[in-house]
Structure formats: C-alpha cells, structure tokens
C-alpha cells in the first residue's frame, strides 16, 4: 500500500500536476536572461514571475490547452532549480574563455499524459499519466552555438520509456534590451514511450480505434525564444515551438495531426 507521501500519489494530485507543469516554463526564459548577468558560478540567482502557456497536443479532436503559470527559478554553483525541474551541476571542462563543456544530472516533469474525457477519440481509453524523468546532460559552448545532448528515463514507471535529445541553439544580443534564441532539437523516443502515450491496447479497441503498438521514432522541434529586458531585474519573454512528429506517432489511430505546438509568454522579476 502506498504511503500518503509516495511519489506516485503526489503526481496524481490534480493541483500538484498543474503546478509541476506550470513552473517548468521558467526554463525557457532563464538561459537567455542569465547571460547578461554575473557569472552564475559565483553567486545565487532567484527569480519569480507569472506567465501563460498554450499547447496543442496531436490527439484527434482534443482542445487547445491554455493555462496561467506561476514562475519560480533558482540557481547557484551547484544546482539549477525550475520548480519540478532540477539540474545538479557536475565538474565541467573549460577549454577557452568562450568554449567549455558542462555536465549535469537532470530531472524534469513531462505533462504528456491524458484522461479519457480529454477528447472523443480517447473515450474508453485507460488514462495515461504524466511522468517525472531523470537522466544526464552535456552542454558544449562552441563559441558559435550551444550544443546539448540529454538522456532521460521515466523514473515514475508509467511509460518506462527513455529519450535522447540532441539540441542546437544560439543567442543573439540584438541590443541592450532584446535577445533572440532560435533552436533546433531532435528527440528520439523509445517504443515504450510511444506505445504508452500513442498506442491502443487490445482492451481499448473500438470500431473507430484499431489496435496499435507504438514503435520508437524521432521528433524534430524548431523553436524561437525572445526576451526583452527592461533592466537588470525585470524582463518579459515569449517562446514559440513546433514539433514535427515521428511517423510512428502519426500512424497512431489516436492522432490526426503531424505536428504539435506550444506558445509561452510571461514576466519574470530577478532579485
């Protein structure tokens, strides 16, 4: 029998679920804003704010989800914390002043889950739960762009899935107030992940919903983050991303779109 404070029971509380998904978005704005500040390895940095996120999942007939987001951020020499998203910093390599490699152990919350009343096509499906993921990450500052490699595993045990992401981004300081960061990310998701969130079990088959066993595939994400800094404390941001789904996801009878997208914006005050 699970205790009242077990990780699984905590994740199933609706308000905790929403808060975890909401606070995650501060990771979008922090990497850009911190570049213009003091070296984060020599001091602590706090930030709070408010924002909104609008997401469109690829399930047939599912409504666009829009919600308000509280934003919380903390970083020091050893840890980066974004609500339920955390990175434990490991010793890195300083190649030159502009080139370096950073290593970290990471954890993050993934809100890919759904309930059977989210869309007609999901009616009668067993609920798929969102999960907490943990793994390792390498970031390489090349001087021209930042390259990242990240491996994650579903430690909640819901999908038992794994993913590997290779990312490329570069930040341009347009002027003293404006920063723009385009990015491209390729993410491999294993068959456990795809089958859990996009598969159809034999017990869930209907006339309009065939059996489907998901296979591993690669998604391609393109995104753009913009930050406007009023001063050293106040900033606003917007982040837009679109993800081209793998054919293994698009072939699911639950899906009628080839892409999914997110739009996030907000205000952050850094102390």
Choice among 46-60, 67-81, 251-265 with the minimum mean pLDDT: 67-81
Kindly tell me if the per-residue pLDDT of 35 is higher than 60: no
Distance CA 44, CA 268 (A): 16
pLDDT band for position 37 (cuts 50, 70, 90): very low
Q: Which two tokens stand for residue 7?
A: 């990780």
List pLDDT tens digits, range 181-219.
999 999 999 999 999 999 999 999 999 999 999 999 999
Q: What is the mean pLDDT of residues 145-165?
A: 97
Query: To the nearest whole percent, how much of the chain has pLDDT over 70?
Result: 84
List pLDDT tens digits, range 223-268.
999 999 999 999 999 999 999 999 999 999 999 999 999 999 999 9
Backbone torsions φ then ψ of 88, nearest 5 degrees: -95, 115
What's the pLDDT score for residue 225? Answer: 97
What's the pLDDT score for residue 8? Answer: 38
Instruction: Identify the residue with better confidence: 33 or 146.
Output: 146
DSSP states of 97-128 = SS-EEEEEEEEEEE---B-TTSSGGGTTPPPB
């Amino acid at each position: 029998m699970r205790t009242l404070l077990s990780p699984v029971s905590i994740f199933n509380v609706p308000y905790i679920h929403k808060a975890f998904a909401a606070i995650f978005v501060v990771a979008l704005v922090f990497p850009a804003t911190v570049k213009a500040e003091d070296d984060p390895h020599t001091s602590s940095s706090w930030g709070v704010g408010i924002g909104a996120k609008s997401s469109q999942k690829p399930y047939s007939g599912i409504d666009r989800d829009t919600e308000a987001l509280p934003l919380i951020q903390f970083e020091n020499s050893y840890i980066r914390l974004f609500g339920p998203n955390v990175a434990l910093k490991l010793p890195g390599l300083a190649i030159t002043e502009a080139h370096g490699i950073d290593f970290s152990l990471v954890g993050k919350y993934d809100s890919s889950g759904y309930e059977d009343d989210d869309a007609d096509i999901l009616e009668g499906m067993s609920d798929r739960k969102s999960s907490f993921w943990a793994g390792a990450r390498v970031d390489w500052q090349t001087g021209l762009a930042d390259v990242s490699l990240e491996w994650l595993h579903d430690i909640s045990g819901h999908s038992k899935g794994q993913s590997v992401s290779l990312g490329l981004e570069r930040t341009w300081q347009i002027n003293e107030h404006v920063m723009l960061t385009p990015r491209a990310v390729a993410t491999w998701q294993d068959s456990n992940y795809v089958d859990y969130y996009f598969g159809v079990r034999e017990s869930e088959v209907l006339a309009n919903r065939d059996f489907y066993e998901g296979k591993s595939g690669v998604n391609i994400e393109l995104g753009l983050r913009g930050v406007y800094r009023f001063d050293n404390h106040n900033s606003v941001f917007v982040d837009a991303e679109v993800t081209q789904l793998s054919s293994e996801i698009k072939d699911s009878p639950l899906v009628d779109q080839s892409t999914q997208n997110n739009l996030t914006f907000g205000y952050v005050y850094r102390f």
